[in-house]
Amino acid sequence: MGAGFVLGTGNDNWNRQINLVDTFSFVVGSHQLKFGFDYRWIFPILNRAGGNFVPYLDLSNPGNLYMAQLSRGGAETVPVFHNYSAYTQDTWKATKRLTLTYGVGWDANPAPGVRGNTYPSVLEGLGTGRPVTLLPKGTPLYQSQWANLAPRIGAAYRLREIAGSETVVRGGFGLFYDTGAGVIAIPFDHIYPYFGSAVYNNVTFPLTPAQAPQPRREE
């Protein structure tokens, strides 16, 4: 059985985003053409400065910690994400009953950067059975993909047109790509070099500043 508490501004994060979206539509005979784009610039502020977490497991004497874990973050971190998306689509009323919608999208989510000179650590060889190595500073978290084409097609067919009992059958297929920004933001928040953690046994609370782990800082 245990308890814990949080001190400091470890979760005082800000999410900031600039989003540009536009769509153009044209009607040509039985075709309705659409073209559009979506650009997102995401640059959250992840503030781990001063945040720490201390669990303890001595209920008989809460002032005497059986085990203590202290985590401390460095200065605020600002990862930078750029997400690009565009599409073209045609809705064709092929017959009185049948409507076809088809098109293709394009999505690009390049590896994020970071403001300043403190880059996340990137390891190579995880899960391969080979020795894990630390790649040079500034290595992207992943290889950017620029050929993410996303085709899609749909159809709607009116089986019955009797008033009060109209029936429409719809179906479709599409390929979509996730931005991944939420998952990728984790390395900028809770791992080296932005975050430090240490475990102590049989220590007295409160912990001294000398016992606090110091995350790496680079200017």
Band of residue 137 on the pLDDT scale cut at 50, 70, 90: confident
User: Hunting for tokens 């401390």 — which residue is that?
Assistant: 72
Q: What are phi and psi of 192, to 5 degrees?
A: -60, 140
Mean pLDDT on 96-114: 93
Whole-number pLDDT of residue 217: 46
Whole-number pLDDT of residue 51: 47
State yes or no: pLDDT of 109 exceeds 50. yes
Q: Which of 6-10, 118-122, 183-187 has the highest mean pLDDT?
A: 118-122
Band of residue 32 on the pLDDT scale cut at 50, 70, 90: very high
Token readout for 147 is 């050929």
Tens-place pLDDT, residues 170-215: 999 999 887 766 666 666 666 666 666 666 666 665 666 666 555 5
Three-state SS annotation for 156-179: EEEEECCCCCCEEEEEEEECCCCC
Q: What are phi and psi of 71, to 5 degrees?
A: -125, 135
Band of residue 21 on the pLDDT scale cut at 50, 70, 90: very high
Band of residue 139 on the pLDDT scale cut at 50, 70, 90: confident
Tens-place pLDDT, residues 35-90: 999 999 988 877 655 545 555 555 566 555 555 555 555 556 788 889 999 999 99
Residues 6+ away with beta carbon under 8 Å from 130: none
Tens-place pLDDT, residues 150-168: 999 999 999 888 887 889 9
